[in-house]
Amino acid sequence: MLIFSAFVPHSPILIPEVGKENLEKLKKTAEAYKNLESDLYSLKPDLLIIISSHANKRGGEFFTINQQPMLKVSFKDFGDLITNLEFENDIGFGYKIKESCEDHLPIILTADSQLDYGSGVPLFYLAQHLPQLKIISIGYADLSLNQHLNFGQIIRKQINLSAKRIAVVASGDLSHKLHQDSPAGFSPMAQEFDRQLLKLVNEKNIDALVNMDKDLIMEAGECGLRSLITLLGIIKEIDYQPQQLSYEAPFGIGYLVENFRVS
């Protein structure tokens, strides 16, 4: 059964040993993460499915499910030699998702012991106090938003068949081009993309999100829409309430923390 669902950003600056003094600029995001962690901890999940925009390290028109037995998190690529986490993979459940997709969508199994930072940042904040929690790491594909919605609906069917208490977290950032000093450059359409997305999420207008203007999406330089749409495919047919915990963009990248409360 599904007990928790959320969309979160994954900037490595959120990791204290990486962000250091810059972490203060993401104070609202860090506090929102802590609120999410409190909710998740109280719900006592057995399994967390993490959908990351960076989990598919190969790229291509296929989804990925990581089947490595033990999944490690570190941020050494960002200069942090201290933070190290490890989680057990729920290989059996991951394989069930793969089997249920095979006749409908392209999907492959991978075996990467080191998780991407798009998975690592959420796990750092949400799972450190849940040592028995198992993880499934999913990567999205170079496919349409409708196909990501369908993928989420397939995952939901497997969740419904399970007696486990399951949480789903989608990881990604919104526009990367919000300011003149944004790392990806500036686009005047970037703020409009974030504004529309926040409005449609709040209105639970999934159809409009799936049909957002392709030029607007391209101009925004986002990396979170497909993981968000996959999550919305999972919760689409159930009673959920969107709760925006924070949104900020101090570095020219939109960071959204959204709790999709499920009943």
Local confidence band at 213 (pLDDT 50, 70, 90 cut-offs): very high
* Closest listed residue to residue 9, CA positions, set 19, 17, 1: 19
- Integer-rounded Cα radius of gyration of the chain: 17
Residue pair 102/145 in contact (Cβ under 8 Å)? The answer is no
Per-residue pLDDT at 25 exceeds 90:
yes
Domain spans in the chain, listed from the N-terminal domain onward: 2-175+223-262
Report the mean per-residue pLDDT for the chain: 96
Burial of 42 (0-12, 13-18, 19+ CB in 10 A): exposed
Local confidence band at 181 (pLDDT 50, 70, 90 cut-offs): confident
Q: Output the pLDDT for position 64.
A: 96
Per-residue pLDDT at 205 exceeds 90:
yes
Local confidence band at 57 (pLDDT 50, 70, 90 cut-offs): confident
Local confidence band at 60 (pLDDT 50, 70, 90 cut-offs): confident
Q: What's the one-letter identity of residue 81?
A: L
Q: What's the one-letter identity of residue 72?
A: K
Q: What would the CATH number be for the domain defined by 2-175+223-262?
A: 3.40.830.10
Q: What is the mean pLDDT of residues 196-204?
A: 98
In angstroms, the CA 198 to CA 214 distance is 17
Residue pair 262/45 in contact (Cβ under 8 Å)? The answer is no
Q: Which residue has the tokens 């250091």?
A: 20
Exposure b/e, 121-130, CB count within 10 A at least 16 = b:
bbbbbbbeeb
Taking residue 209's Cβ as centre, other Cβ atoms within 10 Å add up to: 20
Question: Which pLDDT tens digit goes with each residue over 139-159?
Answer: 999 999 999 999 999 999 999
Local confidence band at 193 (pLDDT 50, 70, 90 cut-offs): very high
